[in-house]
């Protein structure tokens, strides 16, 4: 495993296992499988509704807690100082841990200034080893780094894949001493990501898949990345990327795939902001209904 050193000296594995969209009933086993393969970084979030299952895996594994790097994210409806602080305490309880290695603000909406202040205080209290943000565009990450923050974000997790490579965003983060992390490295297979001729042909040179090429490309850019699967063979494949290195020519060829557009949504679009607000209400309502149903 390779590591990056965050701006506060904390070391973070450059490759992690994500649990986004993994059903609760499959999460514990998927995390245990990932840990058995060699992953030590696990990425979850309040809005994934599977923190408890990640916690069950942490409790069951023989790997010592100090060797694991656990990330979670605070969802929008937990922003504001008091609500954010309370929600992180709840995440600690669900995960069954005394501290969380990294906590991010999940989206750049609502009262994220006060939420970030809560993370700063939890960091000072030792309940979080590093704090950061997610989906903050260059103007937003620059703002939160420069104005009134006591603790510079250690990480900014943004959509990053060959079709939306975020080169300029990475340059800006590096100038601010913020580590870039990638979500959706495979773009959920959109735009033929796994069958892209450029990626497939590069992979053939190293006897690797397009997915492995993508992960290697990110790691060589020093971008932290989390990838997910519930299939053990794919979990193993995604981890098998430390035995080859892409050439400079390969890296330049992949660069030509970048069209600088999100495969999902534009956080600066007012309609997307409205959608996030509506989606938050719907998801919480559905989750509460599901939890009530379990009681019966």
* Catalytic residue (one of 3, 20, 39, 48): 48
Which residue is associated with the tokens 């030509």? 256
User: CA 196 to CA 189: how far, in whole Å?
Assistant: 10
User: CA 61 to CA 97: how far, in whole Å?
Assistant: 13
Q: For residue 3, give the H/E element and its range.
A: strand 3-5
Please give the angle made by the CA atoms of 70, 6 and 21, to the nearest 5 degrees: 35
* CB 228, CB 33: distance < 8 Å: no
Reported residue count of the chain is 296
Cβ partners under 8 Å of residue 296, min gap 6: none
Which residue is associated with the tokens 């809005």? 47
Residue 198 φ/ψ region, left for φ over 0, alpha for ψ in the -120 to 50 degree band, beta for the rest: alpha
The answer to whether residue 112 is catalytic is no
User: CA 135 to CA 91: how far, in whole Å?
Assistant: 20
- The token duo for 65 is 């807690």
| Other CB atoms within 10 A of residue 160 CB | 26
What single DSSP character describes residue 222? T
Q: How far apart are the first and last CA of the chain?
A: 44
| Other CB atoms within 10 A of residue 279 CB | 13
Sequence-ordered alpha helix ranges (H) in the chain: 24-37, 51-60, 81-95, 112-124, 138-146, 167-176, 197-206, 210-220, 232-239, 248-255, 270-295
Residues known to be catalytic: 48
């Amino acid at each position: 495993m390779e590591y990056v050193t965050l701006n506060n000296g904390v070391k973070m594995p450059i490759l992690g296992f994500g649990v986004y969209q993994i059903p609760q009933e499959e999460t514990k086993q998927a995390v245990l499988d990932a840990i058995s393969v060699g992953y030590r970084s696990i990425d979850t979030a309040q809005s994934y509704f599977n923190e408890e299952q990640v916690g069950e895996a942490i409790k069951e594994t023989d790997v010592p807690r100090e060797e694991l790097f656990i990330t979670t994210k605070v969802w929008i409806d937990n922003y504001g100082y008091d609500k954010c602080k309370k929600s992180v305490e709840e995440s600690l309880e669900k995960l069954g841990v005394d501290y969380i290695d990294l906590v991010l603000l999940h989206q750049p909406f609502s009262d994220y200034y006060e939420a970030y202040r809560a993370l700063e205080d939890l960091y000072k209290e030792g309940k979080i080893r590093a704090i950061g943000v997610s989906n903050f565009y260059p103007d937003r990450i620059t703002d939160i780094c420069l104005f009134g923050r006591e603790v510079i974000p250690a990480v900014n997790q943004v959509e990053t894949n060959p079709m939306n490579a975020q080169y300029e965003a990475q340059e800006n983060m590096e100038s601010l001493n913020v580590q870039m992390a990638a979500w959706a490295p495979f773009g959920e297979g959109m735009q033929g990501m796994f069958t892209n001729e450029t990626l497939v042909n590069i992979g053939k040179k190293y006897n690797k898949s397009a997915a492995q090429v993508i992960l290697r490309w990110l790691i060589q850019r020093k971008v932290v990345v989390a990838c997910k699967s519930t299939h053990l063979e794919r979990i193993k494949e995604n981890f098998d990327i430390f035995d080859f290195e892409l050439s400079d020519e390969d890296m330049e060829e992949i660069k030509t795939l970048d069209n600088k557009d999100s495969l999902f949504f534009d956080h600066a679009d007012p309609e997307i902001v409205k959608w996030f607000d509506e989606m938050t209400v719907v998801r919480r309502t559905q989750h509460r209904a599901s939890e009530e149903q379990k009681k019966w």
